[in-house]
Amino acid sequence: EQGKIGVVFNIGTVDISIKEESTPVNDGKYHVVRFTRNGGNATLQVDSWPVNEHYPTGNTDSERFQMVKQKIPFKYNRPVEEWLQEKGNTIGGKDRGRLFQGQLSGLYYNGLKVLNMAAENNPNIKINGSVRLVGEVPSILGTTPTTSMPPEMSTTVMETTTTMATTTTRKNRSPPSIQ
């Protein structure tokens, strides 16, 4: 919104929003954005700016249970990659009409290199909207799985004009449409 970056996520009860309010990132410069989440707790940091934090109140036992239930990487006592393969992951979409336009590099979901997986045509990654690979495809394609490499080694850059969304259907919300 107005060049400022934010993340909205849902742990099964309500949408939770965390934003970098102080400075817009639509200045044509490269920015490093770090978003981490553990249940309802989340942090968002742009470059070396101060960290934005969100810690839910968790006033009721059901809220606390919902947060604990959503913790990953070991959902259902299985590694997160297996969980991701079961649920799928989507690049692109039109969730809530807040569009993202720009370039992404080094997108990770619980340690998985989502953009590299998309470049490798991983069947668990779905691409919606106007998304295209720019630059070169990493030389590791066809050799070592990208899901096992450290995050700082990502080279895949994708350009998108839509939002990032998962294919997980949320309670009282319709599933995202596939275009």
Give the residue extent of every domain in the chain.
1-71, 88-179
- Tell me how far apart the alpha carbons of residues 32 and 56 are, in angstroms, rounded to a whole number: 25
Which CATH architecture group holds 1-71? Sandwich (2.60)
- Tell me how far apart the alpha carbons of residues 116 and 107 are, in angstroms, rounded to a whole number: 9
Upper half-sphere CA count for residue 156 (Cβ side, 13 Å): 27
DSSP character at residue 82: H
Q: What is the pLDDT along the chain (179 residues), one digit of tens a residue?
A: 678 888 887 777 778 889 999 888 888 888 888 888 888 888 999 889 999 998 877 655 555 566 555 544 444 444 455 545 544 555 554 455 666 677 878 787 777 888 888 888 888 888 877 777 777 654 444 444 444 444 444 445 555 443 343 344 444 444 444 44
- For 61, list phi and psi in degrees, rounded to 5: -60, -35
- Where do we find the tokens 């294919």? 167
Question: What does pTM read for this prediction?
Answer: 0.53
Closest CA to 160 of 135, 138, 128: 128
Are the C-beta atoms of 158 and 127 separated by less than 8 Å? no
- Tell me how far apart the alpha carbons of residues 97 and 162 are, in angstroms, rounded to a whole number: 9
